[in-house]
Structure 1
Amino acid sequence: MEENKECCHKKKERAEKEYRDLINRLSRIEGQVRGIKRMVEEDVYCTDILIQVSAVNAALNSFNKVLLANHIRSCVAEDIREGKEETIDELVGVLQKLMK
């Protein structure tokens, strides 16, 4: 019996500009998180840390919006054009998780 050698995970090739934008956003968020860690290590006042955590949450939400918009415009649109209706169910599931 021959085994299916295909990977079970989907992949997405991104345009260079999209890739750079996403990586830059994540690098900024990573820096913000390191800054929060430093604040905790330096015993900074709680509300100052909370404000920075709020800024990281906003940055992550912004990242999600950009990634989701790109996903809908490329992957979802292409799959729908190809008749892959299951992509809609996948998108609905992702949106439900994002809106918790």
Structure 2
Amino acid sequence: MAENKETACPHCSGMKKVRDREEQRQLLNRLNRIEGQIRGVKKMLAEDAYCIDILNQVSAANCALNSFTKVLLAAHLKSCVAEDVREGNTEKLDELVRTLQKLMK
């Protein structure tokens, strides 16, 4: 795990994490499926699909996004947070608490 304090964008923390190719591939595959689900919802709306059918697809996309969040969170806990705690630092732990508070709104 390599992290750099490089500026990613003005809205991000500026931290970066180099992921192994397999982890990155799996995360990108999940996001590609979610993107496809959202495109499907847009198509359903454009084709005047029944509201409940659209809502069912939105629910599926939400579940997929929540699943992505859980996988990414688990990876973060096992790598970034665990390493920080082992080194006696609590910065990543504090950051995680703030992030969990946002996720649980």
TM-score when normalising by structure 1: 0.91
Provide the rounded CA distance (Å) in 2 between the counterparts of 1:86 and 1:12.
16
**Alignment partner for residue 57 of structure 1, among 45, 56, 62?**
62
Alignment of 1:1-100 (within 5 A): 7-8=6-7, 9-100=14-105
Show structure 1 runs of 5+ residues with no match.
1-5
Task: Please state which structure has a larger fraction of its residues in strand.
Answer: 2
1-structure distance, mates of 2:6, 2:34: 30
Q: Give the number of aligned pairs.
A: 95
> What is the alpha-carbon distance in structure 2 between the residues aligned to residue 14 and residue 86 of structure 1?
20
Larger RCO, structures 1/2 (Cα 8 Å, 6+ apart): 1
Q: Per-residue CA shift, 1:33-72, capped at 9, x if unaligned?
A: 0000000000001000000000000000000000000000
User: Normalising by structure 2, what TM-score?
Assistant: 0.86
The runs of 4+ residues in structure 1 deviating greater than 2 Å are none
Cα drift, residue 7 of structure 1 = 2.9
> Larger Rg: 1 or 2?
1
RMSD: 1.0
Percent identical among aligned pairs is 64
Structure 2: which 5+ residue stretches go unaligned? 8-13
Higher deviation after alignment, 86-95 or 27-36? 86-95
* 2-structure distance, mates of 1:56, 1:78: 32
